[in-house]
Amino acid sequence: EDRGYDVAVEDVSEKYITIGVWGPNARTTLQKAVADPEGLSQENFPFAAIRQIEIAGKKVTAFRISYVGEQGWELHMKYEDGLAVWDALRALDIMPFGVETYANTRRMEKSLRLQNADLLTEYNLYEADLSRPKVKGDDFVGKAAHSEYHARDHQPAMLCTLVMTDNVDSGGVARYPVGTLPILDPQTKETLVDSLGRYSYTTSIAFGPTIGKNIALGYLPHEYCQEGRELLVEYFGEHYPVRVEGIGYKPLYDPENLKPRS
């Protein structure tokens, strides 16, 4: 209103739902459910495009994007249409998977960040490796701070990908950690601290089924940001070795990102 606009904000969260269809055969499988199979071809529906499609007589907004590292679509529809679309997909023997696959295991193999887990207000976009090469000329809230970060020779910390090289505890039991684990220096056994006094903890951790190892994301101080560096994490009072596999954005699975674009 202070700029002369008449704007109303309406919460429609409970009016729409989303179903994700992903996998190596996502296109050929989904083509069996839509009214226009050819509309899902690579030529007609390129990566990152949004199109209107029809499933079980229901209008669906399809977004060709992937958070799990495979070919596929997000399907957005009215709440009341969800069950009909779900049943049509299940009739094709599409297997349902829970949020652990979507929000942790597969997205971490792709080095994809999760809001309020890996993306935190304590760290800037450059540290999360989500910044753009240029800062736009127009003013925006936070531009002064963002420009300051942009001008640095290096950031105090970077979000890194870690892989557990051994997950067997002292009792011989294989562990698959969850939660927030402190990241330690293997010599001092102390939690890492960056130049701004921020302690290093895993921001996400899960087992990566494709690579067969536990994967973690965490912010490491600049001086520890070297690929191949050996560190430790602590889980229920025991230490487990981890190796730095990537500084910033670096997928462990399909690094060229060819599968989602196929």
Beta strands 16-22 and 72-78: pairing type? antiparallel
pLDDT at res. 253: 96
Map tokens 């299940």 to a residue. Answer: 90
Pairing status of strand 58-63 against strand 72-78: antiparallel
Q: Which residue has the tokens 């799990």?
A: 68
The amino acid that residue 33 corresponds to is: A
Lookup: tokens for 178: 């969850």
Report the chain (262 residues): mean pLDDT per 10 consecutive residues: 86 95 96 98 98 98 96 97 98 91 89 95 96 87 93 97 98 97 98 98 96 97 98 98 98 96 96
End-to-end CA distance of the chain: 45
Q: Please state, in angstroms and as integers, the Cα–Cα distance from residue 260 to each residue in 63, 64, 163, 244, following that order.
A: 12, 9, 23, 25
CB 58 within 8 A of CB 85: yes
- The residue written with tokens 């001086």 in the block is 223
Residue 98 confidence (pLDDT) = 84
- The 10 Å CB-count burial string (b at 16+, else e) for 208-241 is beeeebbbbbbbbbbebbeeebebbbbbeeebbe
- Contact indicator for 165, 222 with CB cutoff of 8 Å: no
Confidence at residue 3, expressed as pLDDT on a 0 to 100 scale: 81
Give the pair of three-digit tokens for residue 154: 């290096």
Q: Are 211 and 109 in contact (CB under 8 A)?
A: yes
Residue corresponding to tokens 């300051």: 148
Q: Check if the beta carbon of residue 149 is closer than 8 Å to that of residue 155.
A: yes
Assigned token pair, 152: 């640095």
CA–CA separation, 250 and 233 (whole Å): 20
Domains of the chain, start order:
13-96 (3.30.1360.120), 113-247 (2.40.30.110)
| Chain center to CA of 89 | 25
* pLDDT for res 117: 95
**pLDDT number for residue 133:** 81
pTM of model > 0.85: yes
For position 99, what pLDDT does the model report?
83
